[in-house]
Amino acid sequence: MIAIVTWNIQYGLGCDGRYDLARIVATAKAMGSMDVFCVQEVAVNMPEMDKGKGEDQSATLAGLLPDFAPVFRPALDFAGAEDGKRRQFGNMILSRLPVIQVIVHPLPEPAAEGVKHMRRQALEVIVEAPAGPLRIVTTHLEFHSEMQRQAQVDRLREMHVEASANQRHPPLKAGGTYVPLPRPSAGLICGDFNFPLEEDNYARMLAPFGDGTPDLVDAWVARHGRRPHDPTCGIHDAHQWPQGPHARDFIFISSELAPAVREVEVDTRTNASDHQPIRLVLNI
């Protein structure tokens, strides 16, 4: 069995106004065993986000989980801090399982005149699970532009197609930098997708491929069937989410993993972020 938790942690800022990364980690661990922690909205040297600390949150999270290999890759990386350090913001994966390789995927940012938007990316790791290599992707899609979300969903699906095709048609074995590294079709894409269930992009994510690529399946549906999704935001923060509680954070799994789903749960009680953590347990 392996357990994966995904959470948009809002750079450690809770709905109670308290900034506390230790609370984030303690809350995630309290959900049960955890082998991989996928985190969105990690800030480095951005004091406007963490009550003036300008903390390297990637280092703090790594220190709070010393038995986990930390992988932080910023979607935003720019100059501007008074101390000369670069300002960064993005996604992080911490894994207790061995990390075989890391791949960073910039996501599309098509022009959207008159709409504010920011650079987005997907962070992929291949971990050595008990049953073999497993591909894990975490991402955070654009909030303000549905058109950009659609382009980003299409890219996530292309990544899945690419991994599956390379598994079915492996490259020539070679040495050095050409040594083929595992990148299996079996995997999952998790994070804050910034689309509700009724938006077309949710159905778009699940659309059949029809080319031999295993379809993507919502892990919640694989486990709970027609039971409505537990909300993943809007529970404790009515200011940012006036529409009330709803789901916009998901774990999409490749269909070959669907029989392995044992648990999918959302911690709806914590107010340590404006989003709620999701925990997935796979029997692999």
d(CA 19, CA 146): 30
Average the pLDDT over 102-106 and give the result: 97
d(CA 280, CA 36): 10
Q: Is the pLDDT reported for residue 196 higher than 80? A: yes
User: Where residue 81 falls among pLDDT bands split at 50, 70, 90?
Assistant: low
Number of domains in the chain: 1
What CATH code is carried by the domain that includes residue 251? 3.60.10.10
Which of 80-89, 185-194, 232-241, 263-272 bottoms out in mean pLDDT, i.e. has the lowest?
Answer: 80-89
Q: Is the pLDDT reported for residue 273 higher than 90? A: yes
State percent of the chain over pLDDT 90. 88
Question: 34-72: buried (b, 16+ CB within 10 Å) or exposed (e) per residue?
Answer: bbbbbbbbbbbbbeebbeeebbbbbebbbebbeebbbbb
Q: Is the pLDDT reported for residue 246 higher than 80? A: yes
User: Where residue 66 falls among pLDDT bands split at 50, 70, 90?
Assistant: very high
Digit-coded pLDDT (tens) for 132-154:
999 999 999 999 999 999 999 99
d(CA 120, CA 109): 8
- Domain of 55, in residue numbers: 2-282
pTM equals 0.96
Average the pLDDT over 72-86 and give the result: 85
> Tokens 């930098």 sit at which residue?
177
Q: What is the pLDDT of residue 48?
A: 86
Q: What is the mean pLDDT of the chain?
A: 95
User: Where residue 274 falls among pLDDT bands split at 50, 70, 90?
Assistant: very high
**CB-count exposure of residue 244 (10 Å: 0-12, 13-18, 19+):** exposed
d(CA 279, CA 197): 19
User: Where residue 50 falls among pLDDT bands split at 50, 70, 90?
Assistant: confident
